[in-house]
Amino acid sequence: MLNGIQALNYGVADVAEAVRFLDDFGLIKVESSPTYALYRLPEGSYISVRHIDDPALPKSSQVGYGVREVIWGVDEQASLDRYIADLRRDHEITESEDGTYRFVTSFGQAMGLKVFNKLPIVSSPSPANAPGMTQRFNQWRKWRQRAQPKQIMHAVFGYPDVNEALDFFRSRLHFRVTDVQVGIGVYLRMPGSSMHHNIALMDADSPGSGANGQLAFHHTNLIVEDIDELMTAKWYMERQGWSSSPFGVGRHRIGSALFLYLPSPLGGEMEYGADVDALDDTWVPHVWSLQFGFQAFLHSPPPFLMNEPEWKLEFCDGATVRHTTFKELVASGKLKPLPAIDANQLEKEHH
């Protein structure tokens, strides 16, 4: 079964600027040159960077900079063999010398599968104190100078047809639906992972996708230990001159994770995350209204997120649920068209 994201392969506009960003972001550099860079996370996953025109990147229907190929990790060779045997029925599969099997889906996304022997991760967040529950005596909280993400949580892409992608991930790669956000997309967890979602299928017509109806990268999330490390990362990145988050620090309702989205020279955004919900196969997915699912709190909300959203969610069957598109939601009169989210404009408004 799939157990995590083994690698994210980026196509960027400027390799040197991408390297500077990832160095500051806190990743472990394995190697770099003027045309290529490779980074490793403590769990044993990798992030690679090449110029968008590098022939080593796969051809696909995807547009724009960002992650151009996701390599999904598989727990053992026998599982990998079963996946590949099934995919060969209707996909052209190529095998690399390192044991990666690559293909392009019917909806035009490049991806691959590889055995992923995940490394154990050790975390030691400071105990938290609360009224009536003291866990930290005679000690202060951990002091940090830099953040170091420990693992890749998820990647998010905009899809012209979310339901086509959903059918593939659910039936061919055996992802589980964890939650659905009406008009926005579907959150999916692979069977060998307990994190709330490893990929989100975002509606390419929704204003927040930035995809303009095309297959495009949106963001990736890297996990840090706690809110202290996340805030240390924010402070450090801004001191290095990188653009600040247009929303500031927040916490999602869907998945409960703390978040900090930073505009990235690699394309799209790179997100620090912490304290995400852990799930297993007893979890029952929910359908969330569009805005209600986005945030429990937000440090710097734009004007259109200032109103309290309708508290609306219900259960669904993850094996059969379908995505209600943003266009369908607007056409039904249940949602007024939202303004496109311009990160640069939001940053100006909050500074």
Which tens digits make up the pLDDT trace of 289-320?
888 888 889 888 888 778 877 788 899 999 99
Q: How far apart are the first and last CA of the chain?
A: 46
Please check whether residue 342 lies inside any domain of the structure. Answer: yes
Torsion of CA 232, 298, 291, 183, to 10 degrees: -30
- β-bridge partners, 199: 155, 188
pLDDT at residue number 337: 55
Burial of 335 (0-12, 13-18, 19+ CB in 10 A): middle
Residue 144 has a CB neighbour count (10 Å cut-off) of 17
Residue whose tokens read 């900090």: 260
Q: What are the structure tokens assigned to 105, written together?
A: 């889906």
Whether 242 maps to a domain, the answer reads: yes
Q: How far apart are CA 242 and CA 147, in angstroms?
A: 15
- Both structure tokens of 314: 């219900």
- Confidence (pTM): 0.94
Residue 339: per-residue pLDDT:
52
- C-beta of residue 274 within 8 angstroms of C-beta of residue 255: no
DSSP result, 36-101: EEEEE-TTS-EEEEEETT-TTSPP-S-BSSEEEEEEEEESSHHHHHHHHHHHTTTS--EE-TTS-E
In angstroms, rounded to a whole number, what is the distance separating the alpha carbons of residues 122 and 99? 28
Q: What is the pLDDT of residue 263?
A: 97
Query: Is 338 inside any structural domain?
Result: yes
Contact by Cβ (8 Å): 275, 226: yes
> Is residue 332 situated within a structural domain?
yes
- Is the Cβ–Cβ distance between 243 and 234 less than 8 Å? no
Contacts of 59 (CB under 8 A, 6+ apart): 104, 110
Residue 85 domain flag? yes
* pLDDT digit string, tens, across residues 56-91: 999 999 999 999 999 999 999 999 999 999 999 999
Q: What is the CATH number of the domain that holds 28?
A: 3.10.180.10
Residue with tokens 């998945």: 255
Provide the domain count of the chain: 1
Of 63, 64, 73, the closest CA to residue 41 belongs to: 73
pLDDT recorded at residue 336: 60
User: In 3-state terms, what secondary structure has residue 28?
Assistant: strand
The CA distances from residue 89 to 172, 330, 348, in Å, are: 11, 38, 51
From the list 246, 249, 187, the residue with the least C-alpha distance to 224 is: 249
Nearest of 335, 262, 254 to residue 296 by alpha carbon: 254
Residue 185 lies in a domain: yes
Q: Which domain holds residue 197?
A: 2-119+149-349
Instruction: Provide the pLDDT for residue 346.
Output: 40
Q: What backbone phi and psi angles, to 5 degrees, belong to 109?
A: -100, 135
**Spatial contact of 51 and 265, defined as CB atoms under 8 Å apart:** no
- pLDDT given for residue 343 in this prediction: 44
The answer to whether residue 137 is domain-embedded is no
Residue 132 belongs to a domain: no
pLDDT in the model for residue 235: 96
Residue 53: the pLDDT is 98
* Reduced 3-state DSSP string for 252-319: CCCCCCEEEEEECCCCCEEEEEECCCECCCCCCCEEECCCCCCCCEECCCCHHHCCCCCCCEEECCCC
CA atoms of 117 and 113, how far apart (whole Å): 13
Report the alpha-carbon distance of residue 248 to residue 256 in Å, rounded. 16
The token pair that represents 45 in the structure block: 């996953």
Average pLDDT for runs of 10 along the chain of length 351: 98 98 98 98 98 98 98 98 98 97 98 97 94 96 96 98 98 98 96 97 94 97 98 97 93 97 98 98 94 88 80 93 93 67 44 38
Q: Report the SS3 class of residue 351.
A: coil
